[in-house]
Amino acid sequence: MDLSSIFFYVEFYDFWHPVAFIDETLDSRFLLYKNNPSALIAYLLNEVLTKATQDVYAQYGKQLYALWSIQDIGGDCIYPAKAGGPCGANYEFGSWSPAAMNEFLRQVSGVYPFNTFEGHALFQFSFMPNSWM
């Protein structure tokens, strides 16, 4: 089977590291490294993705699109999960400033294995923070 015409969309959220469901707590690495793109990238490369996973991503990079989550439990978004409710179930990039998120995308696009990806994008438009509009 020729896999060259198949594309994969990899959603990055709820890293479960160093413990399960950490992104549902104030210990979320998205909050710990809030608005600090370099620190979050180092965390992804050194603690989340194994070398084997990085190599697989690089091998299929031109078929991969990275989708970065913009959930934010404490956030104010355009379409909350319920009236007055949260913007998702985890603390993720929705807690960041738009400028820091853009800088993260710029930086991560140049770092192995992410620099092998065909593209990077945000997902969960319904959770877009009002402050980003």
Q: How far apart are CA 75 and CA 9, in angstroms?
A: 25
More confident residue, 105 or 74: 105
Give the pLDDT mean for 92-99: 96
Confidence of residue 3 (pLDDT cuts 50, 70, 90): low
Residue 14 has pLDDT above 80, yes or no: yes
Q: Which residues of 35-51 are buried (b: 16+ CB within 10 A; e: fewer)?
A: eebeebbebbbeeebee
Mean pLDDT score of the chain: 92
| 94, 32 Cβ separation under 8 angstroms | no
Q: How far apart are CA 133 and CA 109, in angstroms?
A: 23
Q: Is the pTM of this model over 0.85?
A: yes
Q: How far apart are CA 28 and CA 67, in angstroms?
A: 18
Element (DSSP H or E) covering residue 117: none
Confidence of residue 46 (pLDDT cuts 50, 70, 90): very high
